[in-house]
Structure formats: C-alpha cells, structure tokens
Amino acid sequence: MTQTFWWLSFADETGNLGITIVQAEEFVDAVGVAHVLGINPGGEVRGHSFPSDNAAFMKEAMALGIGRLISRDEMIRRGYKTVRDACGES
C-alpha cells in the first residue's frame, strides 16, 4: 500500500524556520502531525506531497530523518539551497 509523505517548509518574516517530513494523507493532517510531534516551529507553512513509492524521495527522506525538525543551517550543510540563493536574490 502506498503511503503519502509531506515535505513541510516553515518560514516567517525572518526567513526559513526549518523543514520536516511527516506521513499524512492530506496537507492539513501533515501540519497537525508536525504540531503534535512538536516539530512545527510556527510561521507560515508550505508543503509538497510524495508517495512512498517515489524511490528518490524516500531515499532522501530516510537520509534526512522523518518526523523531526531540520534546521535551515543543516539543510545548507547538506547541500540544499535556499529559494533566495537558488534564484540569485539577496
């Protein structure tokens, strides 16, 4: 059975507050799971869903860790770019 995972990105006026990956069927449920787990740092949230049969995503999710808050600094250390960096904004 294919499950749905969500990549949630949190931000406020100061910038990125971190990301988390959780399992949930719908976006609103994913945000609720992050809140219950204590890994919702607040601010605005955006999300993208991925099915568990997406091998590339699941490999990345397992490397990052499912169900934990991952800081902006950790993401940059792992080679991810911020939206501003990727778009050449300052």
Q: Which two tokens stand for residue 85?
A: 């960096």
Supply the range of the domain harboring residue 12.
Answer: 4-87
Domain count, the chain: 1
Task: Give the residue-averaged pLDDT of 19-38.
Answer: 96
Judged by phi (left if over 0) then psi (alpha if -120 to 50, else beta), residue 2 lies in beta
Taking the C-alpha atoms of residue 21 and residue 61, their distance in angstroms, rounded to an integer, is 7
**Neighbour tally for 89: CB within 10 Å:** 8
Rounded to whole angstroms, what are the CA distances from 41 to 11, 16, 35, 53? Answer: 9, 10, 8, 28
Task: State the pLDDT confidence band at 84, using cuts at 50, 70 and 90.
Answer: low
What is the model's pTM? 0.84
